[in-house]
Amino acid sequence: MEQGSFQGAYNVFKIIIMKKKRFICLYFQVHQPYRLGRFRYFDIGRRGGYFDDDKNRAILDKVSAKCYLPATLLLQDLVRSYPGRFKCSFSFSGMVLEQLQEMNPKVLSVFQELLSQPEVEVLAETYGHSLSALASQKEFEKQVKRHGEMIMSLFHQQPAVLRNTELIYSDSIGKYAAEMGFKGILAEGADRILGWRSPNFLYAASEAPALSLLLKNYRLSDDIAFRFSQPGWNEGPLTAEKFVHWLNAIPEDEPLVNLFMDYETFGEHQWAESGIFDFLQALPEAVFQNSDFQFITPSEVLEQLHPVDRISMPEPVSWADEARDLSAWLGNPLQDDAFESLYRLQSRVENCADEHIQRDWQKLQTSDHFYYMCTKYFADGDVHKYFNPYDSPYEAFVNYMNVLADFELRLETAASLPPALRRSFKIQREAIPHRVQTD
Amino acid sequence: MRVLMFGWEFPPYISGGLGTACYGLTKGLMEHGAEVLFVLPRLFGGEDAGTMRMIGAAEAELPEEFSRFMEQGKMQLLQVNTALFPYATDKSYLSGDGAMGYDATFQSKTAMGGGLTGMYGSRLMDEVFRYASLAPDIAARHSFDLIHAHDWLTYPAGMAASSYAGKPMIAHVHATEYDRSGDFPNERVMQIEKMGMQSAERVIAVSEYTKKIAIKQYHIDEKKVDVVHNGVLPGSEKPEVRVDKTFPVVVFLGRVTFQKGPEYFLYAAAKVLRNNPDVRFVVAGHGDKLLSMITLAARLKISSRVSFTGFINSADIGQLFGDSDVYVMPSVSEPFGISALEAARAGVPVIISRQTGVAEVLKSALKTDFWDVDGMSDAIIALLQHNSLRRWMSRNGRQQARMQTWNKAASRVLTTYSKLLS
């Protein structure tokens, strides 16, 4: 009898607790690569200037106008309308921040304004939006550190949660993150890892239990990021009410829904005409009116929830394509040779103090260059083509390798090696009588 | 002496070595006092010009001395109404052109990419016979002593003109289907080649190597075949030797196709790089094997030392020769190989496969079998290591290339003419 009434009271208590503790964690990724210009064999050793400044500026301006400005102003409004209640998080690659600094400081200041609100958290990532975690722990840590310094100077925040490039995570990367002192990391909630388990809990890294894993709910995230305006989707048009209805359908004991997506979803991947901004604007109100969910930032998740289990990902998992592995960036012979050739230069770059070299080194590591070399969808054309400035992955590869060859030459001349150790090859050819001799 | 000559391309609108050869040869012939009626395929309006770049011979800007020859009445350019012209971007045409080389005057939309099928389309065959059907009319309207036809695309035209006018014909073999496709030739093309060579009164082969193929593969009577090696035009471009360069450059220049053996170049490159990791290799040219060669370089893990240029124009070729320390032509079967002479003329030491005609005149070149990547890499390493060897080869190669003039080639051709007319 006594025991029965305790059980009843406990159940009521549990429901109250559960009702209170259900969270939506919004995370937006902001990145633009430095796209390469055409770089021919004849340019090797003859000119610097790897990047297509005009194109990069044009794309940055376009994305700023369609997404960065309107979406950020809207989020500012939402944070002001629901103080302490509407929350979200961001991470920015060093690449997009450098470009905003150089070419569009106005947009940067709008971001700074939003990020100055306590409701908005900024996460750590690699400076170059690189795949360095797959090549070298040392390089990875250097990049995260360089990125952290930039975040501190621009946003005055010290990131406590890490998001690796393209949500790439593995047990090793978990260890790197824990060793750097991060308490949490974002990762993909891939079915093949989770099996019967749900992404809607907090997990811990199997090799580093002090590190918590926030796993992306890819179904609900992709409903917004990919399917929102997809023709023929039988759930379209998606409204905030419908989305909240889906949130409510999640079993009550699952406390966390991680919605991770590219920021460019708003206005760039999904155009304004699709109603994506209306959706975003209506979402907080719909959540507050019709559900028990609260918005939360990644750091708050770590305070509010405890990991329910350990998750192991021996092989890297990403958020790209159906495969959710590395095959968008690595795996074909072109990508692998380019990747290995790049990181063969690492120790030489470390010994080089030249700041131009260091900056180009970051830019050349950007994962997008390897994405352009992906042959998976070369035949039928797909999302890869949409993002690819080259006509073919082969062209992307050849161009990249020419740039890398030039970079290597610069590295050798800039390196503080004594002349005796520098490699050299003196041309000794017979003078051609009618030739223009250069001196 | 008046010659009715059937060709299919002429400078400046050339897609390969054949146009250059026709230019050099006709120039040499006229210097020797011969008169040439040069027939080129051409479109006369009405066709769908939108998809093709149409350049008729009349619009071609002729080199100055040709205008002079034309003024003196020594040369006439004739056009016939057919779509067969060398600037089509038709895939079948591109792959069917035996002499198609690196000097692509037409521009691909993209520098790289674009697959060539290596197959012959039916349209090309139609054009060949359409060209031939117009030949009797041309023969009727002009007087001439003999007919000279260049390669299989023009053999049917030459044969038609010959049988109409009752004048003897010479088949000039610049390349054969056997060279282009090895053991998997296009039967129809081979048939036309065989017919042309057999019905011609005399055959001119661009090398002893090609003469042997004509005898062995096409069963042509040995006594009927004369060898006339191609010449090389005096260098108009002055290669600007790059003196600031800190790395050696080894170059492959030509169509990236089965015939040219690009894979042997890459296998040899991989071996050289084990010996000297600083060498840079350049594969200059386009072709149906380009993408698989890019992949091969990546598989061999040498992409950081190999550049693929895709199509390359003549100005870039000059610069490339200026950059290059070694030129390699690993052709599986090369009737002549004029670009090896051009490299030699620019002072670049040359390594050629034994399966090339140019080996017969470029005596100083190092020679290996095309499949012998060990020999090829040894030769590259030796050239890069020994300045004295490189200097010696550069000097000798340039001398030998200089001696190989079109004027000399033309006088040999005139000997064939007189054999025919006597």
Q: Which B residues in the span 159-198 are in contact with A, Cβ-Cβ below 8 Å?
A: none
Quick check: B298 and A334 CB within 8 A? yes
A337 CA to chain B: closest CA distance, Å?
5
**What is the pLDDT at residue A20?**
60
Mean of all residue pLDDT scores within chain A: 89
pLDDT higher than 90, residue A77: yes
Split at pLDDT 50, 70, 90, the class of A34 is very high
pLDDT of residue A94: 97
For residues A163 and A124, is the Cβ–Cβ distance under 8 A? yes
The predicted structure's pLDDT at residue B121: 44
Q: Exposed, middle or buried, B135 (CB in 10 Å: 0-12/13-18/19+)?
A: buried
DSSP A361-398: HHHHHBHHHHHTT--TTTTT--HHHHT--SSSHHHHHH
Pairs across A and B, CB distance < 8 A: 128
Nearest to A435 among B238, B247, B316 (CB): B238
Instruction: Give which of B256, B290, B308, B386 to mutate to test A binding, by max A Cβ within 10 Å.
Output: B308
Mean pLDDT of the A290-300 span: 95
Residue B306, sorted as left (phi over 0), alpha (psi -120 to 50) or beta, turns out to be: beta
Which residues 299-358 on chain B approach chain A with CB closer than 8 angstroms? 299, 301-310, 316, 319-320, 325, 346-347
* Residue contact A40–B309, C-beta within 8 A: yes
Closest chain B residue to A401, measured at CA:
B304
ipTM over 0.85: no
Give the pLDDT confidence score for residue A432 in this predicted structure. Answer: 41
Radius of gyration of chain A (CA): 24
Burial class (CB in 10 A: 0-12, 13-18, 19+), A262: middle
What is the nearest CA distance from A137 to chain B, expressed in angstroms?
23
Closest CA to B324 of B397, B390, B243, B251: B251
| CA B395 to chain centroid | 24
Interface test with B, best of A398, A413, A428, A434 (most B CBs within 10 A): A398
Determine the pLDDT at residue B286. Answer: 87
In sequence order, what are the residues at sequence separation of 6 or more whose Cβ sits closer than 8 angstroms to the Cβ of residue B77?
B10, B38, B40, B57, B58, B60, B62, B70
* Whole-angstrom distance, CA of residue A427 vs CA of residue B321: 13
Record: contact B303-A38, CB cut-off 8 A: no
Chain B residues with CB-CB distance to A404 below 8 A: 304
Q: Which residues of A belong to the active site?
A: 166
Contacts B238 to A, Cβ<8 Å: 432, 434-436
Integer angstrom CA distances of residue B35 from A99, A364, B137, B332:
66, 61, 20, 37
Tell me the pLDDT tens digit for each residue of A128-159. 999 999 999 999 999 999 999 999 999 999 99
Q: Which is nearest to B170 in space by CA: B415, B417, B406?
A: B417
For residues A358-384, average pLDDT = 82
Specify the range with the lowest mean pLDDT, choosing from A304-308, A420-424, B384-388. A420-424
Q: Are A160 and A184 in contact (CB under 8 A)?
A: yes
Q: Which residue of chain B is at minimal alpha-carbon distance from A408?
A: B304
CB-CB under 8 Å, B112 with A394: yes
Residue whose pair of structure tokens reads 């035996």 in the numeric block: B98
| pLDDT score of B67 | 59
Residue numbers in A near B347 (CB within 8 A) = 429-430, 432
Q: Which residues face B355 on adjacent strands?
A: none
Expressed in angstroms, the distance from the first to the final Cα of chain A is 103
Mutate to test the interface with B, among A342, A406, A422, A427 (most CBs of B within 10 A): A427
**CA distance to partner chain B, nearest, from residue A227 (Å):** 32
Contact map slice: A 34-63 vs B, CB within 8 A: 38, 40-42, 44-45
User: Which residues, given as ranges, of chain B have pLDDT below 50?
Assistant: 43-63, 81-121, 237
Preferred mutation among A336, A385, A394 to probe B, highest tally of B CBs within 10 A: A394
Q: What distance in Å separates the CA atoms of residue B32 and residue B414, rounded to the nearest whole number?
A: 8
Report CB contact under 8 Å: A392, B112: yes
A392 and B294: CB-CB below 8 Å?
no
CA angle A41, A46, A51 (to 5 degrees): 75
Phi first, then psi: what are they for B52, rounded to 5°? Answer: -130, 155
Cβ pair B241:A427 closer than 8 A: yes
Of A338, A395, A430, the CB nearest to B303: A338
Given CB atoms, is A415 within the 8 Å cutoff of chain B?
Answer: no
Alpha carbon of A416 to those of A46, A354, A406, A419: distances in Å? 21, 10, 18, 9
Q: Does B39 touch chain A (CB under 8 A)?
A: no
Which residues lie below 8 Å from residue A118, measured CB to CB, with a gap of 6+?
A: A84
pTM score above 0.90: no
The verdict on a CB contact (< 8 Å) between A391 and B294 is no
The structure tokens listed for A286 are: 């719909």
Model confidence over B135-191: pLDDT tens digits? 888 888 888 999 999 999 899 999 999 999 999 999 999 999 888 887 788 888 899
